């Protein structure tokens, strides 16, 4: 799975860190998204998809779904 | 047998409660009733990235039909709840069907105000609330040259920046003396007036629509109260919302331009809750009861409610309100509710386009508006929540990291 995040769009809502805490975190200084794992295991794919959907600023874009995902 | 939880309104707060209940382990039946044809989607992008075409319909979808099937949530789309039988604890749906509930959640949202005495339909006026509205307006933008926007709040200004960047000639009419009058301070209004003017948008404050007419060539002519006339191919009306509280009213649940709720989010009927844009309440961060229309409020109220049946302890809702808007090159983030009267202190340099306005009431920090300054915003959320009282000198000191005051 490939995804990209946009600091320009990010508003520090924190939804990503809440639903996909192994993949995303928030910078303590500005609240902006931090990617903890750029190539997460298939077990995290659904969480990443959910983070992308729940982000109110749509700051996470899924570029490529992966065939490994179920 | 239990009837479970019924949620009226399948927008962001309603759907978030439904899914959240399952996350918290609630095992009873959940029914989510929405009057739009689509499964739940995000509204904020409709006047931002969805409008300018950088995100797709799929990307604004919050939850698919499949998600609800997985969570064993019954989603009824294109269904309108018409009444509530509070004695029998049933929701009546159009078509004489009804559904029993143990607990009912009103997440009915709001609807856009229309221009009074003018027929929206007769002049093809646009507004943005639903995906269908956004599609229709996006379509109009693709062929329009002259756009008139009525209302200079977040939505009108977001649309103005997108249209101006696309090369449309944009005229914006605002009834109050300044932009974002209800949500922003004078300094922030002034900054955005300059920004939109620099994008080519003509802004007319203290001005309202007097009359709209159709010219012989099929275009619209907008006559304003200051005697101006503005030609338009498309007109967007963005003058705020009203709560969808009629179903509560007709069931004799207490309302006052919004469904009234207490700290536990319960209405005057303890088996019925209200959340999101339709709910009116006294936040500890506001001087009076109000509706808070934001993703933050929608999500935080939904999450609190979703955890209630499993924890059994009704929590008190006291989340700090925050908001954001994207206009041109400026991202505005607001922590707290900007008071009408406050001492205002600016941190940073307005001319650089990255600064924050701190509103102080009786020594206490009430709200902070940050433009292109996310660090100020995040720190502000914590400062306000903790009740920190920074002095004007501390706020203005660029060498001082305000985080150290926490």
Complex ipTM, two decimals?
0.91
CB B289, CB B278: distance < 8 Å: no
Higher per-residue confidence, B118 vs B313: B313
Give the confidence band of B218 by pLDDT, cuts at 50, 70, 90.
confident
What is the average pLDDT score of chain B? 95
CA dihedral B245, B248, B249, B250 (to 10 degrees): 120
B330 CA: distance to closest CA in chain A (Å): 10
A68 in contact with B, Cβ within 8 Å: no
- Chain B residues close to A30, C-beta within 8 Å: 374-375, 377-378
Work out whether strand B103-106 and strand B5-8 pair parallel, antiparallel, or are unpaired.
Answer: parallel
Contacts of B196 (CB under 8 A, 6+ apart): B157, B160, B161, B164, B172, B179, B203, B327, B328
Distances (CA, A) of B129 to B132, B256, B279: 8, 22, 17
A31 CA: distance to closest CA in chain B (Å): 6
Closest to A4 measured CA to CA, from A48, A69, A41: A48
A26 pLDDT above the threshold of 50 = yes
B324 in contact with A, Cβ within 8 Å: yes
B123 CA: distance to closest CA in chain A (Å): 32
Task: Give the C-alpha separation, B74 to B68, whole Å.
Answer: 7
B296 in contact with A, Cβ within 8 Å: yes
**Across A9-26, average pLDDT:** 96
pLDDT at site A70: 45
User: In degrees rounded to 5, what are phi and psi of residue B248?
Assistant: -70, -45
Give the confidence band of A69 by pLDDT, cuts at 50, 70, 90.
very low
Give the confidence band of B283 by pLDDT, cuts at 50, 70, 90.
very high
pLDDT at site A68: 53
Give the confidence band of B1 by pLDDT, cuts at 50, 70, 90.
low
Using only C-alpha atoms, chain A has a radius of gyration, in whole angstroms, of 11
pLDDT at site B118: 64
Is B295–A12 a contact, with Cβ atoms under 8 angstroms apart? no
**Across B270-299, average pLDDT:** 97
* Partner residue facing A58 (CB), from B59, B299, B331: B59
User: In degrees rounded to 5, what are phi and psi of residue B266?
Assistant: -80, 145
Q: What is the pLDDT of residues A53-66, one digit of tens each?
A: 999 999 999 998 87
* Partner residue facing B375 (CB), from A8, A29, A54: A29
Helix, strand, or coil (residue B133): helix
B397 pLDDT above the threshold of 50 = yes
Q: What is the pLDDT of residues B119-177, one digit of tens each?
A: 777 888 999 999 999 999 999 999 999 999 999 999 999 999 999 999 999 999 999 99
Residue B177 neighbours by CB distance under 10 Å: 10
Size of interface A-B (CB pairs under 8 A): 47
């Amino acid at each position: 799975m490939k995804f990209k995040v946009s600091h320009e769009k990010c508003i520090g809502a924190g939804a990503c860190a809440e639903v996909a805490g192994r993949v995303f975190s928030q910078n303590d200084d500005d609240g902006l998204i931090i990617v903890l794992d750029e190539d997460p295991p298939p077990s995290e794919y659904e969480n990443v998809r959910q983070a992308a959907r729940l982000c109110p600023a749509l700051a996470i874009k899924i570029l490529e779904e992966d065939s490994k995902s179920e | 047998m239990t009837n479970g939880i019924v949620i009226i309104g399948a927008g962001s707060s309603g759907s978030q409660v439904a899914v959240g209940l399952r996350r918290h382990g609630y095992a009873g039946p959940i029914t989510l009733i929405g009057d739009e044809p689509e499964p739940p989607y995000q509204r904020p992008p409709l006047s931002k990235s969805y409008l300018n075409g950088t995100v797709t319909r799929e990307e604004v979808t919050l939850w698919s039909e499949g998600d609800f099937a997985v969570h064993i949530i019954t989603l009824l789309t294109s269904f309108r709840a018409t009444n509530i039988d509070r004695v029998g604890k049933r929701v009546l749906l159009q078509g004489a069907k009804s559904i029993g509930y143990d607990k009912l959640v009103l997440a009915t949202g709001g609807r856009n105000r229309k221009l009074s005495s003018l027929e929206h339909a007769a002049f093809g006026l646009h507004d943005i609330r639903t995906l269908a509205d956004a599609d229709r307006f996006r379509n109009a933008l693709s062929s329009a040259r002259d756009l008139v926007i009525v209302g200079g709040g977040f939505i009108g200004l977001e649309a103005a920046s997108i249209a101006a960047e696309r090369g449309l000639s944009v005229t914006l009419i605002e009834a109050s003396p300044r932009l974002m009058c209800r949500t922003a301070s004078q300094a922030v209004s002034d900054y955005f007036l300059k920004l939109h003017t620099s994008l080519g948008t003509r802004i007319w404050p203290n001005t309202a629509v007097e009359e709209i007419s159709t010219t012989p060539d099929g275009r619209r002519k907008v006559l304003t109260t200051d005697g101006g006339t503005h030609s338009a191919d498309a007109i967007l009306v963005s003058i705020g919302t009203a709560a969808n509280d009629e179903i509560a009213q007709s069931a004799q649940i207490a309302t006052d331009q919004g469904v009234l709720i207490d700290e536990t989010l319960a209405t005057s009927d303890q088996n019925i809750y209200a959340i999101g844009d339709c709910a009116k309440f006294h936040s500890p961060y506001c001087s009076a009861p109000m509706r808070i229309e934001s993703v933050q409020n929608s999500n935080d109220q939904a999450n609190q409610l979703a955890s209630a049946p499993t924890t059994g302890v009704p929590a008190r809702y006291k989340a700090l309100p925050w908001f954001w808007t994207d206009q041109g090159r400026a991202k505005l983030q607001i922590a707290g509710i900007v008071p009408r009267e406050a001492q205002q202190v600016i941190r940073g340099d307005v001319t650089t386009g990255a600064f924050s306005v701190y509103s102080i009431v009786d020594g206490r920090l009430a709200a902070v508006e940050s433009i292109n300054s996310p660090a100020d915003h995040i720190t502000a959320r914590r400062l306000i929540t903790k009740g920190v009282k920074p002095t004007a000198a501390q706020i203005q000191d660029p060498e001082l990291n305000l985080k150290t005051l926490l």
